[in-house]
Amino acid sequence: MSYLVDENGYYGEFGGAYVPEILHGCVENLQQNYLKIIESESFRQEYMALLRDYVGRPSPLYYASRLSDKYGAKIYLKREDLNHTGAHKINNTVGQILLAKRMGKTRIIAETGAGQHGVATATVCALMNMKCEIFMGATDVERQHTNVERMKMLGATVHPVRTGNMTLSDACSAAIRDWCCHPSDTFYIVGSTMGPHPYPDLVARMQSVISEEIKEQLKEKIGRDYPDYLVACIGGGSNAAGTIYHYVDDERVRIVLAEAGGHGYETDYTAATFHRGTTGILHGAKMLVMQDGDGQIQEAFTISAGLDYPGVGPMHCNMYKKGRTQVLSINDDEAIRAGYELTRMEGIIPAIESAHAVAALSKMKFNPDDVVVLTVSGRGDKDIETYLNNKEKAGEYGQF
């Protein structure tokens, strides 16, 4: 049994491609061509060269000795925060823009929440001289203002979306609506392992460079190419998918994902989709979704804009349902505290999303010989205000 996508675009009962009639041709064209293109020699060469010279890969695998002492295990951090533009998102946008070019598309659209995917998309559009339009909830435009200015400076047009809660989920819907109006010339660069097939598989493959590198780096550092635990935060699921990709069928490796609990998964202020979601269809795929009895999507709530989504990618839904993945719900205050802890113990200010993964460590039990690889999905520059406004949640670390 494999946990990767089947030939029909499903992961067990999850996935598929539920799109409006007008996009059928477009999505089918992508389904039929993406593997041919991304597995071709010319694509591989151009993609790998950009990952190396433009993104700055391989990202280091860093042995965090103070963190290791504290938690009683051998903890390694996969440093996606050191990538160009500050997160793992760029791995995917570099790949998808090369695919868009090879498919003859001239206009790029994307959705964004915190603005990290918007910035990563605007960046590669500048690089490739492509027209770029970003859809972003009006609430997020306000709370992530610096990223909006970065996108504009890079040459993108940013469309504030004023429907619904005016956050990520509404931005996704707006991007899909725009795509329906321009199916022939437009390529939609999806930012996470979500959307209609083949996007979840496409994005997972683009991020799989993370686990490819972890294998090589572990082999070099500890003489074996697998850890006992992989830990990552999860919103739509792309950094998690990249972290686990080459290990999904390796049962020696335990997978622990950290989702955003907000005020607590048992409250109404949460984004803990695994704990609270039920099967539904959102943005083109069948997945776990937070919804009411009538199938109305519920608003997600978390301090972390990058995890503020009421669904989760189909690959992860299937692995969770089959018991392959353990999911921990991390509350806002726990994430803040863990962000301060990593800052003070290792000198690394993580993105508030990544801080959720760090917080998972305190809920896990280790043997001293356990090897843990934890992905730091992004850097915390964008979150300094959030950290400072929540100092009181950081305990002794907040006294400054």
Return residues touching ligand PLP (CB under 6 A): 87, 89, 114, 116-117, 192, 233-240, 306-307, 351, 353-354, 377-378
Q: Which is nearer to ligand PLP, 27 or 240 (CB)?
A: 240
Cα of 104 vs its chain's centroid, Å: 27
* Residue closer to ligand PLP (CB basis): 90 or 253: 90
Q: Is the dihedral of CA 168, 390, 374, 300 positive or negative?
A: negative
The residue type of 25 is G
Q: Which is nearer to ligand PLP, 204 or 371 (CB)?
A: 204
Please give the structure tokens belonging to residue 281.
């269809």
CB of 41 to ligand PLP, least distance (A): 28
- Long-range CB contact pairs, 342-349, < 8 A, 24+: 342/67, 342/376, 343/380, 343/397, 344/397, 345/64, 345/66, 345/67, 345/70, 346/64, 346/66, 346/67, 346/77, 348/77, 348/81, 348/376, 349/379, 349/380, 349/381, 349/383, 349/384, 349/387
List, in sequence order, every residue forming a beta bridge with 378; answer none if it has no partner: 87
Instruction: Put residue 72 in one of left, alpha, beta given phi > 0 → left and psi -120 to 50 → alpha.
Output: left
Which of the residues are catalytic? Answer: 89, 111, 377
334 or 353, CB closer to ligand PLP?
A: 353
Smallest distance, ligand PLP to C-beta of residue 119, A:
9
Please report how close the Cβ of residue 138 comes to ligand PLP at its closest, in angstroms.
19
CA distance 35 to 57: 23
Closest contact distance (angstroms) between CB of 315 and ligand PLP is 11
CB of 59 to ligand PLP, least distance (A): 13
Count of positions (residues) in the chain: 400
Handedness of CA 315, 319, 321, 327 (dihedral sign): negative
The CA distance from 130 to 305, in Å, is: 27
Instruction: Return the closest-CA partner of residue 385 out of 153, 149, 142.
Output: 142
Nearest distance, CB of residue 111 and ligand PLP, angstroms: 11
Q: Would you say 87 or 370 has its CB closer to ligand PLP?
A: 87
Q: By C-beta, is 77 or 370 nearer to ligand PLP? A: 77
Closer to ligand PLP at the Cβ: 271 or 297?
271
Which residue has its beta carbon closest to ligand PLP? 378
Rounded to a whole number of angstroms, the minimum distance from the CB of residue 40 to ligand PLP is 26
